[in-house]
Amino acid sequence: MYMIGVVVLNNLFLWIWKPWAQAYTGEKGKNLARKEDLEKILTEVKAVTATTEAIKADVSGALWVRQIHWNQKRDLYFEVMKLIAELAEAYHRAGAELESGSMSTEDLHGLHYRLDCIFRLTDLFADEKCFAVWKEYENSRNIPPSPNPEWTRREWFALLDVERHIAALAKDDLKRS
């Protein structure tokens, strides 16, 4: 009888325990599956985030390089235009100063030298047409043995033309960059 009581009690216990154990193990299984899915999703999100950050860094780096290059161009064009203006102004004043002897052609040569040095940088940063415009002007220059006001006037007009061409080239180049 003791045996029958144990069997009945065991069946009764299993009958009560079975639904609860099934529900418990079902929930545990769901939680375990969620945890595994969550780990997979988290791994994927980390991979996507790392890829996104790498792309951001590449784009940011490229933009930074592009911006630095643009800044160099802008600064170079500014310096070129400033020196052309100084040289044009020197030619404008030179006519009277050459007659009075207060200005020598060495002053003009110094300004030309500074501009030539700056124009060499245009090969690195600026539109190659700028250097071509300058070289065309430089090659067309013919300094007479004794410069006169008429010569300085021609040079002044030629420089104004160079200034106009370079300003247009600079504007187009900076828009493209």
Q: Is the pTM of this model over 0.85?
A: no
Q: Kindly give the confidence (pLDDT) of every residue in the chain, 177 residues in length, as a single tens digit, with 9 standing for 90 and above.
A: 667 766 666 666 666 656 665 666 667 667 666 777 778 877 888 888 888 888 888 888 888 888 888 888 888 888 888 888 888 887 777 777 766 766 666 767 777 787 777 777 777 777 788 888 888 888 887 777 777 778 888 888 888 898 899 899 989 988 887
**In the prediction, which pLDDT does 146 show?**
72
**In the prediction, which pLDDT does 139 show?**
85
**In the prediction, which pLDDT does 168 show?**
92
Helices within the chain (DSSP H only) = 2-100, 105-125, 128-140, 149-176
**In the prediction, which pLDDT does 9 show?**
63
- Helices 2-100 and 149-176, axial angle in degrees (round to 10): 170
What's phi and psi for 153, nearest 5 deg?
-65, -45
The token duo for 36 is 């595994």
Please give the Cα distance from 58 to 109 (Å, whole number).
46
What's phi and psi for 163, nearest 5 deg?
-60, -45
